[in-house]
Amino acid sequence: MSNNEIRTFRRVVTGHDTSGKAVFLHDGSATNVQQPPRGGVTSTLFWVTDETPAKLTSDSDNAERTIGIPPPVNGSIFRVVEYAPDSTVKAMPDTERNWNLANRPDSGGDAIQTDAGARHHGMHRTKSIDYAIVLSGEIFLMLDDSETLLKAGDVVVQQGTYHAWSNRSDKPCQIAFILIGAEVPWE
């Protein structure tokens, strides 16, 4: 796969017909993919809910929308993010790097820390509990003053912490994220 190729994911969504019988509502490539012109951070959105408990009666496609990084206040997001190596992102002109980190259609506006003094250009936090599963590659999870290396198969439960993802390898890293809206202690 070249640097500009987007991995496609098959997405199968089940539901019910009018008689209550289980049916397949969607079965095909996930199409809500956000990617900058020369790579960097690619996001594939699979599903969004706007409330908890989630409503299971809709046959609409809850992935066909524009949404920020954090989930709706009482909802959830399921997506896979592919992180290019840091060397690729650092080599981009500032306008493209900013697109990757703050100005993407799914950035959520204030979810990205842009202070010049930040430990890493991608430091941010969301008003959510995040479940993350590293699917391929490796990546450092950076916190305020510590970090750990994660590899394929590792799982993270992140409770609204200030963090960044730093791919110091020479290969992309894919992470599946499930974010659920949460009450946060800093407000």
Q: Is residue 13 part of a domain?
A: no
Contact present, 155 and 133 (Cβ < 8 Å): yes
Structure tokens at 163: 């963090």
Q: Is residue 108 part of a domain?
A: yes
Mind listing the pLDDT tens digit of every residue in the chain (187 residues)? 444 566 789 999 999 999 999 999 999 999 999 887 666 788 999 999 999 999 888 888 999 998 888 888 899 999 999 999 988 877 776 655 554 444 444 444 444 444 557 788 778 888 899 999 999 999 999 998 999 999 999 999 999 888 889 999 999 999 999 999 988 887 7
Amino acid, single-letter form, for residue 90? K
pLDDT value, residue 185: 80
Q: Is residue 3 part of a domain?
A: no
Q: Is residue 187 part of a domain?
A: no
Q: Concatenated DSSP letters for 35-63?
A: --TT-SEEEEEEEEESSSSPP----S-TT
Per the structure, the complete domain to which residue 164 belongs is given by: 33-181
Four-residue CA torsion sign, 55, 56, 61, 64: positive
Number of domains in the chain: 1
**33: buried, middle or exposed (CB in 10 Å: 19+, 13-18, 0-12)?**
middle
Residue appearing with tokens 């500009």: 4
- Dihedral in degrees, nearest 10, Cα atoms 25, 131, 129, 162: -130
Q: Is residue 117 part of a domain?
A: yes
Q: Is residue 105 part of a domain?
A: yes
pLDDT value, residue 115: 53
Amino acid, single-letter form, for residue 186? W
Q: Is residue 20 part of a domain?
A: no
Tell me the pTM.
0.86
CATH code of the domain in which 77 resides: 2.60.120.10
